[in-house]
Amino acid sequence: MPFAISLSLSRLTNWLPRPPRGAVLILCAGLAGCQMDGAGLGGNSKNDDIKMPSTAIEETYGGDSGNEITLLLRKGAAGLYEGPARDVRDGAVLGVGELGNNQIRLRVKDVGLAGAAAQVAAAKGRNAALIVSYLPPAETAAIAAIPPAQRPPLLNLASAMASTGGDVFNLASDEIDSATEGVKAAGPGGHKKVSALVPADFSQSDSTRLGNAIWNSGNTFMGLGRYNTSDQAADVLTKNRPLIQSAEIVVILGGTSEIGMVASAVRSAAIPGQALVGTNRWPQSAYAFPAVTGAFVATDDTQSSGLIAERYQRHFNHPLTTYGAYGYDAMAIASGLIRSQGPQAITAANLLNKVGFRGTTGLFRFNAAGMVERKMMINTIDGGKLKVAAQPSQSF
């Protein structure tokens, strides 16, 4: 029974704690099965427009006496928050406005010339309860390297990274998460031989993450092969024949037009019963290749994000994106923990609760390494389109 975090203010006042089986309270909203449904978000019909200050001045939102949540971003060349950074900020602002109940105060900071470490030190000096960031990898790594005793917990909304320190939590999911869930769907009983084909520039750290994820899913990782943009299907098969022929499941990662060619190489080996798995990075154009028909593709659960999309569009005059939803969920996690357990509730132990959280991005939780685990929607490719094969599980 996950922690239902994306609810209206009126619903939040009715959250009921239930005795936990560990250190974490499981919160419900009086909904069937303690799950969020359309009434949870849809009932939030705030009509007041959020007045956004100029990004030339410091931005703060929420209750003056609430726990500070520091959001660290980097402005673009024009001196404005742009692209995903803007979307994260806007989603966080909407989340504070709808869920904060004056118990949290969002302070948006541009890392600027001073750098991320200086902003973290300043946040620590203000007794901030949580740092949320969308920053380039090097700056995120610099924050993560600061000992946990010298900073609040970090909730990273940019690309997932393995932390060398503690109290770092990665909310964003990526194609490795998608690949792992797709493999689980293709071989639900586990104990399958799985090979992976990845682009030539696939990093060593991601290769290690992928291999570990497949092993941890209960399958045997046979190894990883690479393909180049200049390859033909015959080249891919020749270079990776042992991996392809030994696998019961082949997962193809990447986000370029070569996906169809690589899938054709795998299918040309004609291994009976072999399953093909794609990822959420596959371009839609790849779905048209006959070779990918029947491939499993795990995608994010976007059903709940639709419940805030209209308000986000109305307030900010641009469509809700995944990063906007991440920003909203970051504030919902913080406000939900504080509401249920008090102002000191944002701790690593509470963020690591095994029951998980249900937000606008679906059901998720953090593992001991700080990586997000999500329940994803399972699709198969049929007729050049994704066709839903299984809805996300409702619990871990």
Q: Domain 175-299 belongs to what architecture?
A: 3-Layer(aba) Sandwich (3.40)
Cβ pair 11, 43 in contact under 8 A: yes
pLDDT at 396: 84
pLDDT at 42: 34
* Segment 17-52, tens digit of pLDDT: 333 433 333 332 222 222 333 223 333 334 444 555
> Any idea where the domains of the chain sit in the sequence?
3-172+302-374, 175-299
Q: How many CA atoms lie within 13 A of 118 on its CB side?
A: 7
Quick one: pLDDT band at residue 11, thresholds 50, 70, 90? very low
Of residues 290, 211, 219, the one with CA closest to residue 253:
211
Cβ pair 280, 175 in contact under 8 A: yes
pLDDT at 58: 73
Q: How many CA atoms lie within 13 A of 38 on its CB side?
A: 2
pLDDT at 300: 87
* Segment 135-144, tens digit of pLDDT: 999 999 999 9
CA angle 135, 256, 171 (to 5 degrees): 30
Is the pLDDT at 3 greater than 60? The verdict is no
Q: Domain 3-172+302-374 belongs to what architecture?
A: 3-Layer(aba) Sandwich (3.40)
pLDDT at 150: 96
Helix axes 259-268, 233-246, angle to 10 degrees: 50
Is the pLDDT at 205 greater than 80? The verdict is yes
Domains 3-172+302-374 and 175-299 share a fold: yes
Average pLDDT of the residues in 4-28: 34
Average pLDDT of the residues in 249-270: 97
Quick one: pLDDT band at residue 164, thresholds 50, 70, 90? low
Cα 389 to its chain centre, rounded Å, is 21
**229, containing H or E segment:** none
Average pLDDT of the residues in 58-63: 88
Question: How would you list the strands of the sheet with 154-156, edge to edge?
Answer: 59-62, 104-110, 67-73, 130-133, 154-156, 168-170
Average pLDDT of the residues in 62-90: 95
pLDDT at 127: 96
CA–CA gap between residue 363 and residue 84 (Å, rounded):
22
pLDDT at 22: 36
CA–CA gap between residue 155 and residue 118 (Å, rounded):
17
pLDDT at 2: 54
**241, containing H or E segment:** helix 233-246
Of the listed ranges 1-5, 103-107, 273-277, 338-342, the least confidently predicted one is: 1-5
pTM attached to this predicted model: 0.81
* Segment 79-104, tens digit of pLDDT: 999 999 999 999 999 999 999 989 99
